[in-house]
């Protein structure tokens, strides 16, 4: 399929969608009025009352707001003029489909490259912090081992001191010391 036929197919599809949207919008706006008119006609035909025999409705409603009063700038808006004087938009619309795809791929590549760079920096920072925490953990383990060895030595020294103290206390009691 050539590039030109893609454009015409896309344009035809867009026109078709716009027509469907316009018809659906018109039905949405006019359906309640048509429903009530049909309902009144069927009710009048069932009751054998002619529409001309009803008295006219008296209402004190304000007149409906016009489009000009609601949105004054909207009246001058037309789809065909949209972007007509915008040189950037004109330049973008003149690009070929392949050029647009190439540009999109280049943008995606740039985003993925940036993402990979960010991921690599984050990974490097995480490895550096993990290494630092590992060194700190090794220091803590070494300090714990040193403390444990010192505790074991001091425990052995206390046991030895108690034996010596017990020995001297027994000798002192033999010589007449009565203690405290």
Through-space distance between the first and last CA atoms of the chain, rounded to whole angstroms = 113
pTM: 0.34
Q: What is the pLDDT of residue 67?
A: 62
Please state at what angle helix 97-174 crosses helix 3-46, rounded to 10 degrees.
90
Percent over 90 (pLDDT), the chain: 42
Cβ atoms of residues 56 and 49 within 8 Å: no
Q: What is the pLDDT of residue 35?
A: 83
Q: What is the pLDDT of residue 61?
A: 73
Task: Measure the CA–CA gap between 51 and 36, rounded to whole angstroms.
Answer: 14
Q: What is the pLDDT of residue 77?
A: 55
Task: Count Cβ atoms within 10 A of the Cβ of residue 44 and give its class: 0-12 exposed, 13-18 middle, 19 or more buried.
Answer: middle
pLDDT digits (tens, 9 = 90+) for 36-76: 888 887 776 666 555 555 666 667 777 776 666 666 666 55
Average pLDDT of every residue of the chain:
82
Residue 80, pLDDT > 90, answer no
Identify the residue with better confidence: 12 or 92: 12
Q: What is the pLDDT of residue 154?
A: 96
Identify the residue with better confidence: 44 or 155: 155
Classified as helix, coil or strand, 95 is: coil
Identify the residue with better confidence: 79 or 177: 177
In sequence order, what are the residues at sequence separation of 6 or more whose Cβ sits closer than 8 angstroms to the Cβ of residue 67? 74, 75
Q: What is the pLDDT of residue 86?
A: 78
């Amino acid at each position: 399929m050539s590039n030109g036929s893609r454009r015409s197919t896309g344009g035809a599809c867009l026109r078709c969608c716009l027509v469907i949207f316009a018809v659906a919008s018109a039905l949405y706006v006019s359906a309640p009025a048509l429903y009530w008119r049909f309902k009144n006609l069927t009710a009048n035909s069932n009751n054998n009352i002619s529409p001309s025999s009803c008295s006219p409705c008296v209402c004190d409603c304000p007149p409906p707001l016009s489009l000009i009063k609601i949105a004054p700038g909207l009246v001058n808006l037309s789809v065909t003029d949209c972007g007509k004087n915008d040189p950037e938009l004109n330049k973008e619309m003149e690009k070929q489909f392949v050029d647009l795809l190439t540009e999109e791929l280049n943008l995606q590549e740039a985003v993925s490259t940036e993402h990979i760079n960010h991921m690599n920096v984050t990974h490097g920072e995480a490895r550096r912090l993990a290494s630092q925490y590992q060194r700190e953990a090794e220091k803590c383990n070494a300090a714990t081992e040193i403390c444990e060895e010192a505790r074991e030595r001091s425990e052995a020294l206390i046991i030895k001191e108690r034996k010596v103290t017990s020995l001297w206390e027994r000798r002192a009691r033999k010589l007449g010391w009565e203690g405290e």
